[in-house]
Amino acid sequence: MFKKALLALPVALALGATANAQKAPEDVLQALIDADPGSVYLTQSEMNIMMMPDSPALWVGMDGEDLFHTARGPNNVSMEACDFGKGPGVIEGAYVEMPRYFEDTGKVMDLETRIVHCMTEVQGFAADDPAVRQRHGSGSDHMKLQTYIAMQSNGMEWNNPLDHPLEKAMRDAGEVMFARRAGMSDFNCYACHGEVGKQVRASRLPATEAKGEWSKAISWPAFRVGHDNVRSSQHRVRGCYYQMRQAGMLAGSDASIALISYWTDMARGQPAVLPDMKR
């Protein structure tokens, strides 16, 4: 097992640097820290920063690479036949330009909903197949594929397109949702992220106005040490709404994609840390 790990490690490191051959995720994070050395959020976990070169997310991405290139499903085709916004099979830089409008569905889609589309419409899986239905946890096909695809945008700038009217509408809806107070505690997203220096218990929170902090904050998939699993943007949205004591967010809904569209727009021009490691 140890020999296998040693042989696989260079591959994992290469995956993390595919999008930017000169940088690994920890190097991208260090650049954000260098640009804002006073940010307690960016530097609050020395242990996580030290562990990033050996992040379990790298192994999840390796499994995702195998899944991406393997012919699967009733149609026996690989994910290389799917268009993630830059043409069939092209994934370098695709993730930082999502959510985006796709003509073949007439919808604005994030990475998770696009993978569902590819698995059902391209590969032919049934919607209730476990490969499609299970979307969370490092062992799921979804997290393996999301991690691998996202890693091909490491170090690239967030730049979700706003050219199509639906892209603009989704972004604007997300802005309203981000500011909307609701629930038993009358919280909105700005309650936690509207000012620099806020914290919950021992954890410092990222602020939308500190662009480097916000870029790291939205850098999912990420390995969550406290969960011992790689988590996605959709998982984070659901977690935030639970913590705000608001109604649960339906995974893959237009509402969830709108929120992701807005938070991505707020990080525009900042480098993505993929995969990140979080508390």
- Catalytic residue numbers? 240
Report helix, strand or coil for 117: helix
Q: Which of 82, 38, 87 minimizes the C-alpha distance to 197?
A: 38
CA pair distance 220, 216, nearest whole angstrom: 8
User: Which amino acid is it at 89?
Assistant: G
Which pairs with CB-CB distance under 8 Å and at least 24 residues apart come from 38-44?
39/210, 39/212, 39/213, 40/197, 40/204, 41/204, 41/205, 41/206, 41/207, 41/210, 41/213, 41/216, 41/217, 42/212, 42/213, 42/216, 44/203, 44/204
Asked if 72 contacts 78 with a C-beta cutoff of 8 angstroms, the reply is yes
Q: Which residues contact 130 (CB under 8 A, 6 or more apart)?
A: none
Asked if 136 contacts 125 with a C-beta cutoff of 8 angstroms, the reply is no
User: Which amino acid is it at 162?
Assistant: L
Q: Which of 187, 203, 205 minimizes the C-alpha distance to 195?
A: 205
CA pair distance 87, 83, nearest whole angstrom: 5
Q: In what helix (H) or strand (E) does residue 107 lie, and over which residues does it extend?
A: strand 107-109
